[in-house]
């Protein structure tokens, strides 16, 4: 999606400029205590880099290894709750953070957004779990049919599938074979 805004129609992907994704993390994501880590996409099997110029940079506010500029260090300190009120940029960022943290409308919208995300995530997990149950039941029913030379309905009965659910499983079984 990012490349779509950069790449003109008819242009080759090789003409894309390097892309940098920067993630500021308030915890040590990898446990290496590095302030800044630069990752590139590569193939784990061949250890060959993709070579598309994409970098994912993790900036770790808890890091102690590696050097960063004094301004960046002040920003990392801010991420850790230490505000340098003498630095204009850091003070401005801290004020904006305070505003959003105390703005009831913004907090309510954020809470609603997070609640919606949690709900959607739960629905996805439940849907995945149900899909797994359906797939496993179909697989087991087909196995019972072959092993005991019984009909699909008899296999589903043997597995304890309620009669009301059997049409759905029968349709899934037909699609499998």
Section 54-65 average pLDDT:
92
- Rounded to whole angstroms, the Cα distance separating 42 from 109 reads 39
Closest by CA position to 63, among listed 37, 38, 39: 37
Residue 67 phi/psi, 5-degree rounding, is: -105, 145
Domain parsing of the chain, residue ranges: 2-67, 109-176
Closest by CA position to 83, among listed 66, 65, 101, 103: 101
Tens digit of each residue's pLDDT (9 = 90 or more) over 61-105: 999 999 999 999 999 999 999 988 899 999 999 999 888 888 888
Confidence bin at 15 (pLDDT 50/70/90):
low
Section 54-66 average pLDDT:
92
Asked if the model's pLDDT at residue 110 lies above 90, the reply is no
Which of 14-28, 91-105, 109-123, 150-164 holds the top average pLDDT? Answer: 150-164
Using a pLDDT cut of 90, give the percent of the chain over it: 47
What pLDDT score was predicted for residue 64? 94
Q: What is the value of pTM for the model shown?
A: 0.50
**In 64-81, which positions are buried (b, 16+ CB within 10 angstroms) versus exposed (e)?**
eeeeeeeeeebbbebbee
- Rounded to whole angstroms, the Cα distance separating 147 from 145 reads 6
Bridge partners of residue 21, in order along the sequence: 56
Section 6-19 average pLDDT:
68
Tens digit of each residue's pLDDT (9 = 90 or more) over 26-53: 989 889 999 999 888 888 888 888 777 7
Bridge partners of residue 40, in order along the sequence: 55
What pLDDT score was predicted for residue 42? 81
């Amino acid at each position: 999606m990012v490349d779509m805004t950069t790449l003109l129609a008819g242009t080759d992907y090789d003409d894309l400029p390097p892309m940098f994704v920067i993630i500021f993390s308030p915890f040590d994501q990898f446990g290496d205590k590095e302030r800044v880590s630069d990752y590139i996409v590569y193939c784990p099997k061949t250890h060959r880099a993709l070579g598309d110029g994409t970098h994912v940079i993790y900036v770790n506010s808890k890091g102690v290894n590696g050097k960063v500029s004094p301004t960046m260090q002040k920003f990392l300190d801010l991420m850790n709750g230490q505000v340098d009120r003498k630095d204009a940029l850091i003070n401005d960022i801290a004020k904006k953070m305070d505003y959003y943290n105390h703005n009831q409308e913004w907090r309510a919208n954020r809470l609603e957004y997070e609640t919606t995300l949690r709900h959607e995530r739960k629905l996805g997990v439940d849907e995945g779990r149900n899909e797994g149950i359906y797939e496993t039941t179909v697989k087991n029913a087909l196995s019972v049919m072959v092993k005991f030379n019984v009909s699909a309905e008899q296999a589903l009965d043997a597995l304890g599938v309620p009669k009301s659910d059997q049409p759905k499983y029968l349709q899934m079984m037909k699609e499998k074979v």
